[in-house]
Amino acid sequence: PDAAAGEAARLRQQRLTKPPGSLGRLETLAVRLAALQGRARPRLDRVRIVVFAADHGVAEEGVSAFPQAVTVEMIRNFARGGAAISVLARTLGASLEVVDVGAAADPGPLPGVVAARQGAGTANFTRAPAMTPGQLAGALGAGREAVARAREAGCDLFVAGEMGIANTTVAAALTAALLDLAPDAVAGRGTGVDDAGLARKVDAIRRALALHRAAAGDPMEALRRLGGFEIAAIAGAYIACAQAGIPAVVDGFIAGAAALAAVRVRPEVRPWLLFGHRSAEGGHARLLAALGAEPVLDLGMRLGEGTGAAASVAVLRLACALHDGMATFEEAGVSGGPA
Amino acid sequence: PDAAAGEAARLRQQRLTKPPGSLGRLETLAVRLAALQGRARPRLDRVRIVVFAADHGVAEEGVSAFPQAVTVEMIRNFARGGAAISVLARTLGASLEVVDVGAAADPGPLPGVVAARQGAGTANFTRAPAMTPGQLAGALGAGREAVARAREAGCDLFVAGEMGIANTTVAAALTAALLDLAPDAVAGRGTGVDDAGLARKVDAIRRALALHRAAAGDPMEALRRLGGFEIAAIAGAYIACAQAGIPAVVDGFIAGAAALAAVRVRPEVRPWLLFGHRSAEGGHARLLAALGAEPVLDLGMRLGEGTGAAASVAVLRLACALHDGMATFEEAGVSGGPA
């Protein structure tokens, strides 16, 4: 972050025709974006949304309300423009890319879909590490490469989304390991699992944590054993964003687990992350607290795909527009500006 | 509201490619707008923002951090496009109108500013009723006429904003009278008054409530005695919106007090009101609770002008875009749709 650009933005906010602080977070977000983008007047013209999709071995434990086939079906839906994130990207004028990091079935070539498959889904982490070291490296690299493509295309803001049946179970297991929490403190109903499904979810997480207990102290090893291809890819993307100086907006629970892993591996990533929304998924509050994050929106969303982060872009843009377009007290001849 | 259109929208939400309910309030807001607009796919193409500006006799009690001259200075700033609401209107592609309902000084003819002056500010309500019956009728009419102009121009959604030095004091007095609350439960720092100013504010409200005690049971009389020109105009606008079948998004504390008055006068107004944001002004929470309102945004804003409501329009539009643009399970060939 560029402290001088942030300070210039802060001083500008004091001079705009409004009582100081009266735009609340629309002021602080503009100042923060100024520091991250290194310009006193931040812009969000070029927003890149990348949805990372993958499957999870733990799905066979009956932890999701939807069949695994949905992951590939949704990859096709993203590509055809029918999914929620497709609509948001179109509405926001953001570019959308889908990265298949390893769905159970190979969707084959599709427009707008990058194949970076690390396997046909991860291993069932209740029995074995989710990923081999090579798969973890490949998934992290898929995230890094998505940021490199975004940067090449010009990118003022990066949004990572995810799709993967059973991935709230994976995010919950990883969060529990990294924050030393009980399974039932982080497991929620995800896309809408019933009581029996929730019990299976808690049980699967409990068994996974017991099996991989030794890895909890090492965030990269926890990510390998308890994570997923798309979660590792998103963690890799956040690390790459920080290295490239691109601010990223974190989506909900699953992206949040990736953010926590990334920050545990590289603490210098944290300042580059904004948080788009507070998810309805219970474990998300624990993640936000651990990361000291205050999300922009709180709309009871729990879809994933990057939708909460994308929705927040509309608010972030208003913050930038106000910061750039309002008159100062001097310009407007309004009384009561800063002394 | 059109129950059939609302039900059609609700059924459509169940068929879109996402777990039911997973878009949270983006779903319920789309369904609500469908019922209010009487079409299964609501649209927010034509948004009208009207800022009502006026001055208040109670300003002479030293209750504001800014001099009264700022009201007219800000009317000019609105007209020239430099104010926060000007920028938001431009960014959202919304039409902006300013109505001078009675600033202390007459700004004279200005582009985009309608003169509907009921006087050079209200009377000081610590000593006399704020408005005469004729002034109240004129202010209510100014609001009604603004909605008629909006309707004539085509209007999918109406946003009322306000500007008036000392009007958080007025909104607090009116709220206290209508909800039978103590002055210190509703008086906040407004645009940034210091401790001494806050004490003067609480004292002025206390004296006003004592003087006009008999009017508290009659919302129209409370509005006349304890309200302001812009607050009465906004109340008139909300009543007119309900009559014309146009949904309105309520801004923060001052517009909220106008909404409360309107709903107390005509309970059938309530369904037509959405609530844009939760203001940082303390008394706003009491208003929202009394109206059973759950605002869209919570960004710590406390500027007024309609800015919180306008900011929420960006989110409401995403709700409409998702509702209209997403594929259904059948269209997308995705498993797990409604049985």
pLDDT in tens, B185-228: 999 988 888 999 999 999 999 999 999 998 888 999 999 999 99
Active site residue A61: no
Any CB–CB contact under 8 A between A166 and chain B? no
Nearest to A87 among B80, B88, B326 (CB): B326
CB contact under 8 A, B22 and A302: yes
Q: What is the ipTM of this complex?
A: 0.97
- Contact list in B for residue A20 (CB cut-off 8 A) is 192
pLDDT category, A336, cuts 50, 70, 90? confident
d(CA A40, CA B129): 48
How distant is the Cα of B88 from the closest Cα of chain A, in angstroms? 7
Res B315 pLDDT > 70: yes
- Residues paired with B49 in a beta bridge: B96, B159
Q: Please state, for a pLDDT cut of 90, what percent of chain B lies above it.
A: 95
* Bridge-based pairing state of the strands B95-102 and B47-54: parallel
As a whole number, the mean pLDDT across chain B is: 96
d(CA A97, CA A77): 12
Res B305 pLDDT > 80: yes
Q: Among B16, B22, B193, which would you mutate to test the A interface (most chain A Cβ atoms within 10 Å of its Cβ)?
A: B22
The 3-class secondary structure across A290-335, one letter per residue, is HHCCCCCECCCCCCCCCHHHHHHHHHHHHHHHHHHHCCEHHHHCCC
Which residue in B has a C-alpha nearest to residue A327's C-alpha? B82
d(CA A217, CA A178): 7
- Identify the pLDDT of residue A69: 94
Q: Please state, for a pLDDT cut of 90, what percent of chain A lies above it.
A: 95
Contact A147, A240 (CB under 8 A): yes
How distant is the Cα of A44 from the closest Cα of chain B, in angstroms? 13
Taking CA B333 as the corner, what is the angle to CA B331 and CA B336, rounded to the nearest 5 degrees? Answer: 110
Give me the mean pLDDT over the B72-97 stretch: 98
Query: Within the 173-192 window of chain B, which residues sit less than 8 Å (CB to CB) from chain A?
Result: 191-192
pLDDT category, A339, cuts 50, 70, 90? low
- Contact list in A for residue B315 (CB cut-off 8 A) is 297, 299, 311, 314-315
- Contact list in A for residue B17 (CB cut-off 8 A) is 74, 77, 82-84
The count of other CB atoms within 10 Å of the CB of residue A313 is 27
pLDDT category, A190, cuts 50, 70, 90? confident
Give me the mean pLDDT over the A65-90 stretch: 96
CB contact under 8 A, A69 and B335: yes
- Identify the pLDDT of residue B215: 87
CB contact under 8 A, B19 and A66: yes
Give me the mean pLDDT over the A193-208 stretch: 96
How distant is the Cα of B106 from the closest Cα of chain A, in angstroms? 16
CB contact under 8 A, B302 and A22: yes
Any CB–CB contact under 8 A between A93 and chain B? no
Could you identify the residue written with the tokens 């059939």?
B4
Res B338 pLDDT > 70: no
- Residues paired with B52 in a beta bridge: B99, B162
pLDDT in tens, A232-291: 999 999 999 999 999 999 999 999 999 999 999 999 999 999 999 999 998 999 999 999
Nearest to A134 by CA among A102, A165, A161: A102
Nearest to B18 among A90, A299, A303 (CB): A303
Query: Within the 210-269 window of chain A, which residues sit less than 8 Å (CB to CB) from chain B?
Result: none
CB contact under 8 A, A74 and B19: no
Res B336 pLDDT > 70: yes
Res B122 pLDDT > 80: yes
DSSP string for A245-257 = T--EEE-SHHHHH
- Identify the pLDDT of residue B339: 53
Give me the mean pLDDT over the A118-125 stretch: 98
Phi, psi angle pair for A168, to nearest 5°: -70, -30
- Identify the pLDDT of residue B192: 85
- Contact list in B for residue A45 (CB cut-off 8 A) is none
- Identify the pLDDT of residue B308: 98
Nearest to B191 among A22, A318, A327 (CB): A22
Phi, psi angle pair for A187, to nearest 5°: -85, 130
pLDDT in tens, A157-168: 999 999 999 999
The helix (run of H) or strand (run of E) holding residue A242 is helix A229-244
Query: Within the 97-126 window of chain A, which residues sit less than 8 Å (CB to CB) from chain B?
Result: none
How distant is the Cα of A117 from the closest Cα of chain B, in angstroms? 21
In the set A27, A230, A281, A305, the catalytic residue is A305
Helix locations, chain B, DSSP H = 3-15, 25-37, 69-80, 84-92, 133-153, 167-179, 183-186, 195-211, 219-226, 229-244, 253-265, 283-291, 307-325, 329-332
Residue B223 token pair: 């509005």
Range with lowest mean pLDDT among A120-134, A181-195, B115-129: A181-195
Which residue in A has a C-alpha nearest to residue B305's C-alpha? A18
Nearest to A17 among B23, B77, B301 (CB): B77
In the set B162, B230, B281, B305, the catalytic residue is B305
Query: Within the 65-84 window of chain A, which residues sit less than 8 Å (CB to CB) from chain B?
Result: 65-67, 69-70, 73-74, 76-77, 80-84
Query: Within the 16-55 window of chain A, which residues sit less than 8 Å (CB to CB) from chain B?
Result: 16-26
d(CA B134, CA B246): 27
- Identify the pLDDT of residue B190: 85
How distant is the Cα of B30 from the closest Cα of chain A, in angstroms? 13
Any CB–CB contact under 8 A between A307 and chain B? yes
- Identify the pLDDT of residue B216: 82
Nearest to B334 among A24, A73, A91 (CB): A73
Q: Among A25, A85, A296, A322, which would you mutate to test the B interface (most chain B Cβ atoms within 10 Å of its Cβ)?
A: A322
Phi, psi angle pair for A267, to nearest 5°: -55, -25
d(CA B78, CA B302): 17
Nearest to B22 among A70, A303, A331 (CB): A303
- Identify the pLDDT of residue B245: 98
Contact B307, B301 (CB under 8 A): yes
pLDDT in tens, A128-139: 999 999 999 999
Res A338 pLDDT > 70: no
Which residue in A has a C-alpha nearest to residue B296's C-alpha? A299
Range with lowest mean pLDDT among B30-44, B114-128, B146-160, B186-200: B186-200
CB contact under 8 A, A77 and B311: no
